[in-house]
Amino acid sequence: MKKIVYLCICLFIGLLVYKKNNEIIIPDDAIRLRIIANSNNIEDLYEKKKIKSEIENDIYSLVSNTKSIDSARNYIKDNLENIRKLINSKTSDFKLDYGINYFPKKVYKGVIYPEGNYESLVITLGKGLGDNWWCVLYPPLCLINDNDTTSDVSYRSFVYDILNN
């Protein structure tokens, strides 16, 4: 009976710790990156995904080594024309805006990120009526989800470990 009670307590604590460790909290002084598709038809969503894949590393590299939000802002402002050229090499119908821009509410890994106006770099493709993709450019959280892999994960049974110790 003691093992079952102990097991239940450990499982409860483990779930709380696991959920807390998976939360990605966006700091108040962050710069976001958002790409909005022209529409929700399959071709436009594919174009958004393709542009995201092709430019995110270049844009991310602008701020990945910056030590402060001010230096990140300066890198972005100083390179807006380069970013514009990079996007223009992929599509000609777009708008690039760096400043305070609207973001809709987002739920990611159980965390609710409220809608609001945030400092951001927004790429609007065509009419911008489609779904959007966004992440945090500074501090660099953009590639967290893309780097999730399970190839180096070892699986263990928490319950089995508890019962056999």
Give the three-state DSSP class for 70.
helix
- Listed range (56-60, 76-80, 151-155) with the worst mean pLDDT: 151-155
pLDDT band at 150 (very low <50, low <70, confident <90, very high): very low
Look at residue 129 in the predicted model and tell me its pLDDT: 96
pLDDT tens, position by position, 88-115: 998 999 999 999 999 988 887 778 889 9
Question: What are the Cα distances from residue 19, in Å, to 14, 68, 73?
Answer: 9, 29, 32
Question: Residues 8-25: pLDDT tens digits?
Answer: 575 667 655 554 445 567
The dihedral over CA atoms of 11, 16, 21, 26, expressed in degrees to the nearest 10, equals 160
User: Does residue 67 have a pLDDT over 70?
Assistant: yes
CA–CA separation, 52 and 34 (whole Å): 9
Task: Output the pLDDT for position 29.
Answer: 87
**pLDDT score at 155:** 41
- In angstroms, the CA 59 to CA 139 distance is 13
Percentage with pLDDT > 90 across the chain: 44
Residue 50: pLDDT over 60: yes
Domains of the chain, residue spans: 31-138
What was the pLDDT predicted at 152? Answer: 37
Entry pTM: 0.72
